């Protein structure tokens, strides 16, 4: 097991989730149910969605036509935020600065589907080595919607 590194204090931003953390998926019930203030349909531009082994990866693709990922903008309850951030990092096996990460947690702008203001949010995107492999031989999810892939 990798050693956990205590990260610097992260800003309390909402999370953009696009796979198993979306409503109706298993990790949503496990980690998010009852711990959020709002969950709003949203889109992340500048990324493509790839099918991984049981879960998806958003791969950054700035400037690529049609590069959009569907998901939810999740605002955590303030009293649950710190613990939820730690649990999401653990779920995604994300350790700040670790070159073995499968995902990187980055701040990106997402757009609410209802057309209201865009928001900055934490997004777990494929780490560079993973992204390169997916671009070369991964299974692209057309339309960028994990829930519509079935």
**pLDDT at position 3:** 45
Sorted by sequence, the CB contacts under 8 Å of residue 66 that are 6+ apart come out as none
Q: Which two tokens stand for residue 142?
A: 């057309």
pLDDT band at 150; cut points 50, 70, 90: low
pLDDT digits (tens, 9 = 90+) for 18-28: 999 999 999 99
Single out the residue of 105, 111, 107, 110 nearest to residue 88, CA to CA: 105
* DSSP-derived secondary structure letter, 2: P
pLDDT digits (tens, 9 = 90+) for 36-69: 999 999 999 999 999 987 789 999 998 888 899 9
Distance of CA 27 to the CA centre of its chain: 12
**DSSP 3-state of 71:** strand
């Amino acid at each position: 097991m990798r050693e956990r590194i205590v990260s610097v204090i992260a800003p309390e931003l909402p999370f953009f989730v696009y796979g198993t953390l979306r409503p109706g998926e298993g990790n949503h019930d496990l980690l998010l149910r009852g711990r959020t203030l709002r969950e709003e349909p949203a889109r992340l531009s500048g990324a493509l969605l790839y099918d991984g082994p049981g879960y998806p990866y958003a791969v950054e693709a700035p400037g690529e036509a049609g590069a959009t990922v569907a998901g939810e903008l999740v605002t955590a309850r303030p009293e649950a935020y710190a613990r939820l951030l730690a649990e999401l990092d653990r779920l995604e096996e994300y350790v700040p600065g670790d070159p073995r990460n499968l995902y990187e947690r980055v701040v990106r702008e997402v757009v609410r589907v209802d057309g209201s203001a865009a928001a900055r949010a934490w997004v777990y995107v494929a780490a560079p080595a993973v992204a390169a492999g997916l671009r070369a031989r991964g299974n692209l999810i057309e339309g960028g919607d994990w829930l519509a892939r079935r």
